A and B are shown apart, each in its own frame.
Chain A
């Protein structure tokens, strides 16, 4: 009887000790994990603060204005570009705004300013579509004479006619 009791006691002690140790170790590990995570959170918060401050610094209105002037073909909006109501734009009765116009018109979206010093990548073709031939001095002279005959103030229609007629 005593032996059984002793055995039971010893077993209980061993089991409970192991269990408590495991539990303690487990908690400790979790605590450790929690500590690293919270220190990471602190670091991240710190980083977020720095980034926010940097964002505020980089998006100073004065800087944005300067950059937009330099890089974009956009000017400030004027009130003439705004209407108080869509109906003002059209005479029709049942006018509805389907979508914001800006989404459908690429030219309205911000785009970079063309660089005046940039060289065009498009190949240079003879603009009038004629074939390039070896320069015949007399022929070029003749052509120049023909051009001189056409006054510069002709309308587009007249110019086309002059070209076809020849």
Chain B
């Protein structure tokens, strides 16, 4: 269609021109408006919408990020995790028949008192908690009641699937996940850090070894009707704690009272005079400082008087003893004579180097401070040489012994898995240092082996494995209420072992608190009769589990330095 060419001429032409010009202005304005609108549309569509949606998803993720990180053992078995558990709340204004409802809730939750439930249901508040952290089954039962006034809200609950098995290492958390002890408390910052809540904290504990240790401790505690028992398995080379058990223990799933005596960790908190285990240190110190060599020995034929006290031997041989014999027969007299030659300064320096004068470095806050003699005179010098008059935690002794046999390096004990590949977000102390020379360490290995082959630790022997160890029996120090000073009749029997002794992998410590002799042990309750067979049993189970191959030959060093025949009682 051809447009009609319409022309107006004359006066009207000017008027039309004016109108046309005005229309162009109006149209331009409209066009400008539309352009602005479309720009706005584009900007809204592209930028702002995204911003809004992005914000929403981020906040959804945060809900999970706030959770506490898991704790796993060295093989990735979950030791502590968080599960969403429902808490039952109520809006009392929406409840019609609180009397009836309280009976029905009581049926589902028998642990509550009905009067308390009724009081909550009739309270004036808008929202009140009836019970926090219900089981899924209880939640189902409550939902079945069909009461609209009852509301559930999710909360995280810390779950310990293994119950009391690892309780003393893990500690526990309260209702609002506030930690109260153990690793939970020590690594609280790391565990509650939202940025690493996805990465579990890897402990050095091996749950299988922990079970073996726990089981044997339980068996032997029952067998010797002991008051308590405690044990520890250390990696001899790295200082990692593979198992740590202290009985009686507690179930961290139940919100225990922190003052409960079963919360006391005998391995880390308890300080004891551990007795003969200390002879390991004295003899190593003597050999290291060349005060005596292996060919040397001391006269142990009669008891010694030191500052008014007479010191006897428990397994007295009443003759001259060589250095291996002093260790193997656990001679107090021989050891103290060696300590007298080392001198106070030498002994203090050596103990200091072993870290016996300060708390251990392990990653738990509840640690015992060693109890040291007030002054270090001639009496203290001799008593500390065989482990009396100085009280340390069993962990002190175990890591010290580990240093004696692993080539002389003292590794601070740690609960965190040491692994080059795994980047742990927690740092651990790694300042191992040489305490004794590798040569002295080799000698100490052989001496400990002799103890198990011929000496006080014979009952720890396991066919096929080479084991080294040292028994310890010490009377408990009298406490305030006992009405006398000095020592009680009750004893602490302990045994510290290393195996396989030709290339030590594990250091095992076990002790029984106040064991009682039984017929089978001729009423003896000392370390060699109670703790040593327990450690033997532990090794019998741990060895095959960890793939430790039995030794082909049993080479015993320094055998010729002992008068074995004729000295057996």
Which residues of chain A are near B549, meaning CB under 8 Å? 82-85
- Where chain B touches its partner, the secondary structure class is helix
Known contacts A2-B24, A16-B38, A79-B463; decide if A61 and B208 are in contact (CB<8 Å): yes
Which residues of chain A are near B63, meaning CB under 8 Å? 42
Complexed CA–CA distance, A20 and B39 (Å):
10
Known contacts A49-B83, A76-B544, A79-B540; decide if A56 and B161 are in contact (CB<8 Å): yes
Q: How large is the interface on A (under 10, 10 to 19, 20 to 34, 35 or more residues)?
A: 35 or more
Choose among A23, A38, A53 the residue with the greatest number of B CB atoms under 10 Å from its CB: A53
Known contacts A2-B24, A17-B38; decide if A52 and B81 are in contact (CB<8 Å): yes
Q: Which residues, 90 to 124 on A, are CB-close (under 8 Å) to B? A: none
Which residues of chain B are near A85, meaning CB under 8 Å? 549, 552
Q: Interface-forming stretch among A28-36, A128-136, A148-156?
A: A28-36
Which residues of chain A are near B552, meaning CB under 8 Å? 84-85, 88
CB distance from B315 to the nearest CB of A (A): 29
Complexed CA–CA distance, A84 and B64 (Å):
49
CB atoms of B550 and A20 under 8 A apart: no
Which residues of chain B are near A88, meaning CB under 8 Å? 552
CB distance from A67 to the nearest CB of B (A): 14
Which residues of chain A are near B31, meaning CB under 8 Å? 6, 9
Which residues of chain A are near B162, meaning CB under 8 Å? 56-57, 60
CB distance from A160 to the nearest CB of B (A): 42
A45 CB-CB contact with B under 8 Å: yes
Closest residue on chain B to residue A14 by CB atoms:
B38
Complexed CA–CA distance, A110 and B78 (Å):
26
B79 CB-CB contact with A under 8 Å: yes
Complexed CA–CA distance, A35 and B52 (Å):
13
Which residues of chain A are near B247, meaning CB under 8 Å? none
CB atoms of A38 and B61 under 8 A apart: yes
Q: Which residues, 136 to 183 on B, are CB-close (under 8 Å) to A? A: 159, 161-163, 165
CB atoms of B544 and A81 under 8 A apart: yes
How many residues belonging to B are interface residues under a CB distance threshold of 8 Å? 53
B53 CB-CB contact with A under 8 Å: yes
CB atoms of A53 and B83 under 8 A apart: yes
B60 CB-CB contact with A under 8 Å: yes
Known contacts A16-B42, A52-B78; decide if A61 and B207 are in contact (CB<8 Å): yes
Which residues of chain A are near B64, meaning CB under 8 Å? 42, 45-46
Complexed CA–CA distance, A53 and B57 (Å):
27
Q: Which residues, 41 to 95 on A, are CB-close (under 8 Å) to B? A: 42, 45-46, 49-50, 52-57, 59-62, 65, 76-85, 88
Complexed CA–CA distance, A13 and B53 (Å):
27
CB atoms of A9 and B34 under 8 A apart: yes
Known contacts A45-B64, A61-B207; decide if A82 and B161 are in contact (CB<8 Å): no
Task: Convert B538-565 into 0s and 1s, putting 1 for each residue whose CB lies closer than 8 angstroms to a CB of A.
Answer: 0011011101111110000000000000
B258 CB-CB contact with A under 8 Å: no
Complexed CA–CA distance, A39 and B53 (Å):
14
CB distance from A11 to the nearest CB of B (A): 12
B465 CB-CB contact with A under 8 Å: yes
- Taking A50-B83, A53-B83, A60-B162 as known contacts, 5 extra A-B pairs with beta carbons closer than 8 A to each other, sorted by chain A number, are A20-B41, A23-B45, A27-B49, A49-B81, A62-B215
List chain B positions with a Cβ less than 8 A from chain A. 24, 27, 31, 34-35, 38, 41-42, 45-46, 49-50, 53, 56-57, 60-61, 63-64, 70, 77-79, 81-84, 159, 161-163, 165, 207-208, 210-212, 215, 462-465, 540-541, 543-545, 547-552
